[in-house]
Structure 1
Amino acid sequence: MEDWRRIDIDAFDPESGRLTAADLIPPNQAQVTLQELQPKIQQIRSMSTSGDMISAIQLATSDPPYGADDSTKAQYLQAVLEALGQTRQADISNIIKQLSPKQHDVLIKYLYKGMSVPEGQKQGGILLSWFEKLTQEAGVNPVVHYLSDRRTV
């Protein structure tokens, strides 16, 4: 026992399991395909082009496709970015006030994701306006939830 500092005590405890990749998968993520999501994407786009921005943003943030593959999430993100980008600066605060706290959490995820992709970086000013208004309305809670949530958009 001269090298007692290097003993792996977890090896002696049968109830101490190792953390695996399967443990990191968020629970309750139903797989969503692009075919299932396409009507919702079209509805978001039609609402935003018709000027019904409140409904478009509410629909986009109501049930995000957490269980979709990356290409499906990218297409959904593109529709959300289009809706966010078509909103007038004066309407942003009013829209955010009509969202629930869960929708605030989803919106902040889309804002961060939008700022990290080239399509969203082209609209950086409007996304930062959304971010500013959201943090003024909801505080830092959506940011903290974004940092601690394992589900990605």
Structure 2
Amino acid sequence: MMKPKLQEKINNSSSVLQTSEKGDSNKGSAIITEIPISDLAHRHRLDLDQPHHQAYSTPLELSQRPETLEPLTTAEMSIIQQVSTASLSDNWRTINIDALDPESSSNFDTTTLHPAFAPVSDAEIRNVGQQVKQLLRGGDAEGALRGALESAPYGGDAGVKEVHLQTVTEVLQSIKASDMTPMLQRIFKTEGGSDALDVLMKYLYKGMGASSTRSLSRGSTLTPQSTGAGFSQMGGRPPANESSGSAMSVLLSWHEKVVDVAGLGCVGRCMTDWRKV
């Protein structure tokens, strides 16, 4: 049975307009009729006793509720079932659309942009290091430096590159400060000298990073020292970082000399080159 208050609202409410078309012998004409809301509620079978239903009181809302619906075909029901199943089973928002596009940049092999380097083994790079040290012991420091820079193992793994970094650092530490600038000028004026200094700049930055990393990992060893007044103070041991500090000083000196000879462009080329030492 309908609630009294709701029935009273329906009886006292204004009628809504419904437009229907009727045609005569000459032309069609639109006839507007008034239909009470109670009739519309009965027509659309609104269960007004249920609280979760609402009475549609405007022509726009009434037009959205057709009196008759065409039944769905078997094919349409099958499509709806398939779409519903796919929506429930797959999280379509996580699908990578670019991966499905053959012309997408994500499907482009970027390794084709860079030429492949021949792999360098640990034995090969150690052999190069022995040859460089032999030149160094023979007094040909410039030849040792050039040979080390021209033998950069771009195709080697991290261990191979670390071994060659030690070789280059040893050569740099064995050259006197007064010989740095003249040697760099001679190398820079020869064929391929600019590329050699670019490689040298890479090793300088890598050596600085390695030295700072070892210094931070090692840290300063702190030991408590008595002050004689019942208190203690922390004292450091400077010899723990002397080797890394001296190596950093040598690398900074070389960095200054390379910039003086090759210019700041050497730093830019070093930073943007995809070939890593």
TM-score norm. by structure 2 comes to: 0.48
1:66 is aligned to 2:151: no
Report the 3-state secondary structure (helix = DSSP H, G, I; strand = E; otherwise coil) of the residue aligned with 1:77: helix
| Count of residue pairs the alignment pairs up | 145
Structure 1 or 2: more helix by fraction: 1
Distance in structure 2 (CA, Å) of the matches to 1:89 and 1:151? 29
| Higher mean displacement: 110-119 or 131-140 | 110-119
Distance in structure 1 (CA, Å) of the matches to 2:126 and 2:153? 11
1:75 is aligned to 2:199: no
Structure 1 or 2: more strand by fraction: 2
1:146 is aligned to 2:265: no
Is there any run of 5+ residues in structure 1 with no aligned partner, and where? 1-7
Aligned to 1:101: 194
Greater C-alpha Rg: 2
1:137 is aligned to 2:225: no
Higher relative contact order (CA 8 A, sep 6+): 1
RMSD (Å) for aligned C-alpha atoms: 2.4
Is there any run of 5+ residues in structure 2 with no aligned partner, and where? 1-95, 188-192, 215-242
Q: 1:94 to 1:11 in 2, by over 3 A?
A: same
Aligned to 1:36: 124
User: Among the aligned pairs, what percent are the same residue?
Assistant: 34
Deviations 1:10-67 (A, max 9, x none): 57853222177x6268423111101222221101112223332100111011131100
1:125 is aligned to 2:213: no
Q: CA deviation at 1:98?
A: 2.1
Q: CA deviation at 1:88?
A: 0.1
Deviations 1:77-129 (A, max 9, x none): 10110000111000001111122001011000110011111378441111111
Report the 3-state secondary structure (helix = DSSP H, G, I; strand = E; otherwise coil) of the residue aligned with 2:102: coil
TM-score norm. by structure 1 comes to: 0.83
Q: CA deviation at 1:132?
A: 0.4
